[in-house]
Amino acid sequence: MLTLAELAKRLDAELVGDADQRVDGLGTIQSATGSQLTFLANPRYRSYLENTRAAAVLIPESQREFCPVAALVVKDPYLSFARATAFFETAPLATPGIHPSAVVDPSASIAKSASVGPNAVIDADVTVGEGAVVMANAVVGAGSVIGDQCRIWPNVTIYHGVTLGPRTIIHANCVIGGDGFGFAFNGAGWTKVHQVGGVSIGADVEIGAGTTVDRGAIEDTVIGDGVILDNQIQVAHNVVIGNHTAVAGKAGIAGSAKIGSYCLIGGAAGVAGHIEVCDKVQILAMSLVSSSITEPGTYGSALPVDTQARYRKNVARFRNLDELARRVRKLERLSD
C-alpha cells in the first residue's frame, strides 16, 4: 500500500489532492474503487473520468479540470500506469535456494541469491545468475547461461547452448533452443541438418507462454535487447530480431529472416525466410511478408472480413485478375 505522495514521487507526477490518501491496488476507470489507482490515456473516455470513483487517476494536463477525484498529472498516463503496476505485483516472491527435489549437475554454477524450484533440472556447466528464478519443472540444458534477475516460469525447456541476458522473462511452456527445421532431401527421404548453433537472447526480453525459439543451424538465433514476444509465436533458426521489436501472438518468422529494431508485427502475421525488414516497420495482423522491406512504415496484406456474399464475389473476381490484366494490355496495344 502506498500513499499518493509516494506514488507521485515514484512516478514523477504532479499531485492534485490528498497526499496521505492510501492506494492498495489498480482498477479500470469504470470500476476502480476508492482505494485504487487508474488512468485515462484517451480523451474519448472522458465521460468515464467524470464519473470515476477511484482514489486517484493518472491523467495528462489537458484532463485536469475534468477529474473529480485526486489526480496524478503526467505526460504519458499509460506509460506511468505501466510503471505503477510494478508497485502492486501479485506474483509470489521466490525464496533463494535450491529445492530438495531439483536435479542440479555438480558442474553447474548457481548464485546464492538465485532460486531453483521443485523438480527443475539444471544440466552440466549451466550458470544461473544473481537473483534469477528457475521455477518448477523447468529444464536448463548444458552450457546455458541464465542472466541475473531472469525469471523462468514453470515447464519451460531451455536446450543446451542458450544464453539469456539479465532480467529476461520466459513464460510457461516455452521451448528455447529446439532444433530448427533443417532437412535435405536425399531422393527417397530426408537427411537431417544438425543444428549446431545456439540461441542468444538479450537483456530485458519477455517471451510469452508457448512460444518457441529454434537454435541456429550454424550461427546463433539472436533476439535483441528489450524485445517482447507474445504467446504461441514461432521464431525459426537463425532469425535475428532487433532491439525493442514487439511481435504479437501466433506470428511466425521463418528461417534466417532479419527483423530490424523498433518493429511491430501483428498477430498471426508471417515473415518469409531469408528476407530483411528494416527498422521501425509495422506489419498489420495476418499479413504475409514475402519480400524484404527497406523503408520504415506500415504494411499490410490481409483482406478484412466481409459479408459472405460479397466476399465470394470478390474472390471470384480476384481469380480473374490475370486474365483481365492480359485483356487490358492487349487493348492498350491495339489502341497505340
pLDDT at position 303, please?
81
Are residues 159 and 24 located together in one domain of the fold? Answer: no
What is the span of the domain harbouring residue 10? 2-88
Asked if 285 and 265 count as a contact pair (C-beta separation under 8 A), the reply is no
Closest CA to 55 of 42, 41, 68: 68
Q: Identify the domain boundary among 88, 110, 134.
A: 88
Task: Compute the mean pLDDT over every residue in the chain, rounded to the nearest whole number.
Answer: 97
Are residues 203 and 336 located together in one domain of the fold? Answer: no
Are residues 25 and 140 located together in one domain of the fold? Answer: no
Are residues 176 and 315 located together in one domain of the fold? Answer: no
Are residues 289 and 336 located together in one domain of the fold? Answer: no
- Residues annotated as catalytic are 237
pTM for the complete prediction?
0.92
pLDDT at position 27, please?
97
C-alpha cell recorded at residue 37: 489507482
Are residues 324 and 251 located together in one domain of the fold? Answer: no
Question: Terminal CA-to-CA distance of the chain, rounded, Å?
Answer: 80
Rounded to an integer, the average pLDDT of 254-261 is 98
Residue 158: is its pLDDT beyond 90?
yes
Are residues 75 and 121 located together in one domain of the fold? Answer: no
What tens digit of pLDDT does each residue of 66-121 get? Answer: 999 999 999 999 999 999 999 999 998 999 999 999 999 999 999 999 999 999 99
Judging by beta carbons within 10 Å of its beta carbon (0-12, 13-18, 19+), is residue 47 exposed, middle or buried? exposed
Are residues 323 and 249 located together in one domain of the fold? Answer: no
Rounded to an integer, the average pLDDT of 9-15 is 98
Asked if 220 and 199 count as a contact pair (C-beta separation under 8 A), the reply is yes
Q: Identify the domain boundary among 88, 106, 137.
A: 88
Are residues 208 and 272 located together in one domain of the fold? Answer: yes
Are residues 29 and 79 located together in one domain of the fold? Answer: yes
pLDDT at position 277, please?
98
pLDDT at position 127, please?
98
Q: Identify the domain boundary among 61, 88, 115.
A: 88
Report how many domains make up the chain: 3
Are residues 125 and 79 located together in one domain of the fold? Answer: no
Are residues 14 and 30 located together in one domain of the fold? Answer: yes
Three-state SS at 327: helix
Between 67-81, 183-197, 304-318, the lowest mean confidence (pLDDT) is in 304-318
Q: What is the CATH number of the domain that holds 148?
A: 2.160.10.10
